[in-house]
Amino acid sequence: MRDIWGEEAENQRELEIRAGEYLSSLGYESVRLPSIEFYELIAAKAGPELLDSLYEFKDKGGRSVALTPELTASAARFFATKLRDRPKPVRIWYVGQCFRYDEPQRGRYRQFTQLGAELYGSASPLADAELAFAAAGILKRVGIAPSLKVGNVGFVKRFLTENGAKESALGQILRAADHGDYQPAMEAVQGDAKAFLKDLEGNPQDLEGWLRREQSPSRKKALKELAQIVELLKAMMPEAKVIPDLLFVRGLAYYTGFIFEAFSSGLDSALLGGGRYDNLLKELGGPATPAVGFAAGVDRIALLMKHPTQPVTGTIFPLDEHSLTKAARAFSALDGMGFELYPSITGAREAMSRALKASHRFVVLAGELDGEDAVTIRDLKKREQQRVQLTDLKQILQEADRDAPREGPNERARHGHPL
Ligand code: HAM
């Protein structure tokens, strides 16, 4: 039962707002998906790892349902039932709760939030590049410069099946490979492929080199696709670190081609991940539609964010029964500037002590002595006090704030309040 609060909750909220605005500006439409889904829909293509960690149960009507472990399958259901006739491409984004019975540790929880985007109806590498670009763009907006690991799961799957691995064993082999264990893959392939795999393991980043050497037309095609996406990503974000990894696979079973994950220092696990899944819509009974998407781990990204939101900077105190309206007017005049309203009548001395305890910089005292249209403000940082007309209140506090900018909650916690 993990409650999220304080700076972590603030960071999550800020991330969701910034990412939502950004994705909307790229043409993605917002959708809210349920946190519960038909078991069949999730089970169809989740892959062994996700199935093992599923919270599944029968509801009171006897239906098999599960808490959503991810939202791509629900988004596909939504697209297939509500948006299938729209002109393509169709772009959506979502934020929602996900549940996996994982072993909890830093950045890995049993309930977490995913913020994702999906693009339906284009098989173009430009669409793959767009999604990876948008994913990196979200991280950039919260001050994180990620490195992107990119691969093509089609290449790995073909390599395995063209060299003797059984289609039915693919799930388990890929699951092990996703955890860096290539032994099951090694055991499944035959002949020269064993040596080839060993070489690949030693140098999985040399996309150009492997592309030159590759003999199989279908695998060459997969590598060419990946090289083209890498080129597009370099054109779109020359400053970004894009690292190809030919043995890269992801835990979910529906990917068919391009896959990617983003990493940043400070956390070993991926901040987000995604890829192309051209068969899922058809396999779920929808219209055959190529698709690509990603989901970002909101909890993980929030751990790395260094963007405390605007802290509360002051409190407005009504000093007597007759000044409630004046306090209300001051509160309204300072709307959005970081002032909270103390709801009970308080003496000036107690007001000051409360403001100091909360590390607030300004105290606004609304009392009878100042007359009908004025209040007293006290700047605890400069140790100054003045009487201010309500009409001037906003401007005077804005100027005071500009003279001596406020500190974020982190700095305050570290250095203590200047008074
Ligand atoms: P995924 O890689 O399983 O992909 O999850 C995406 C992101 O969710 C991860 O990179 C991670 O940040 C976060 N995440 C996953 N599990 C946990 C956990 N237990 N605790 C905290 N965060 C977690 C998907 O779910 C795909 N649906 C992505 C996608 C969308 N592919 C195509 N479209």
* Residue among 108, 278, 300 to mutate when testing ligand 1 (max atoms within 8 A of CB): 300
Instruction: Give the whole-angstrom CA distance, residue 135 versus residue 23.
Output: 9
100 lines ligand 1 (CB under 6 A): yes
Residue among 101, 105, 133, 140 nearest 117 (CA): 133
- Of all residues in the chain, what percent are helix, strand and coil, respectively (each to 5)? 45, 20, 35
How far apart are the C-alpha atoms of 362 and 400, rounded to whole Å? 10
pLDDT at 413 over 60: no
Which stretch of 67-81, 169-183, 270-284, 351-365 has the lowest confidence by average pLDDT? 169-183
Instruction: Give yes or no for residue 108 CB within 6 A of ligand 1.
Output: yes
Task: Cite the residue boundaries of each domain of the chain with CATH code 3.30.930.10.
Answer: 6-304
- Residue 247 CA to ligand 1 center (angstroms) comes to 19
User: pLDDT tens digits, residue range 72-126?
Assistant: 999 999 999 999 999 999 999 999 999 999 999 999 999 999 999 999 999 999 9
Report whether residue 70 contacts ligand 1, using a CB cutoff of 6 Å. Answer: yes
Give phi and psi for 119, each to the nearest 5: -125, 120
Phi/psi region, residue 416 (left: phi>0; alpha: psi -120 to 50; beta: rest), is: left
Instruction: Indicate whether 310 pLDDT > 70.
Output: no
Which position has the token pair 């169709």?
90
Contact 366/375 with Cβ under 8 angstroms?
A: yes
Nearest atom, ligand 1, residue 297 CA: 12
CB 115 within 8 A of CB 296: yes
Superfamily of domain 314-414: Anticodon-binding domain (3.40.50.800)
58 or 408, higher pLDDT? 58
User: What was the pLDDT predicted at 273?
Assistant: 98
For residue range 155-166, what is the model confidence (pLDDT) as tens digits? 999 999 999 999
Provide the 10 A C-beta neighbour count for residue 322: 13
The CATH architecture of the domain made up of 6-304 is 2-Layer Sandwich (3.30)
Name the closest-CA residue to atom 15, ligand 1.
297
Q: How much distance in Å is there from the Cα of 77 to the middle of ligand 1? A: 18
Q: 418 versus 198: which is more confidently predicted?
A: 198
Task: Report the C-alpha gap between 306 and 197 in whole angstroms.
Answer: 41
Sequence ranges of the chain with CATH classification 3.40.50.800: 314-414
Q: Say how many C-beta atoms besides its own lie within 10 A of residue 338's C-beta.
A: 17
Question: Which two structure tokens, joined as six digits, stand for 264?
Answer: 């940043």
User: Nearest C-alpha to atom 16 of ligand 1 is from which residue?
Assistant: 108
Atom of ligand 1 nearest to the CA of 118: 33
Q: Which residues of 226-248 are buried (b: 16+ CB within 10 A; e: fewer)?
A: bbbbbebbeebbeebebbbbbbb
Tell me: pLDDT of 417 over 70. Answer: no
pLDDT band at 47, cuts 50/70/90?
confident
How many Å apart are CA 251 and CA 412, to the nearest integer? 42
For residue 89, say if its preceding peptide bond is cis, omega within 30 degrees of 0: yes
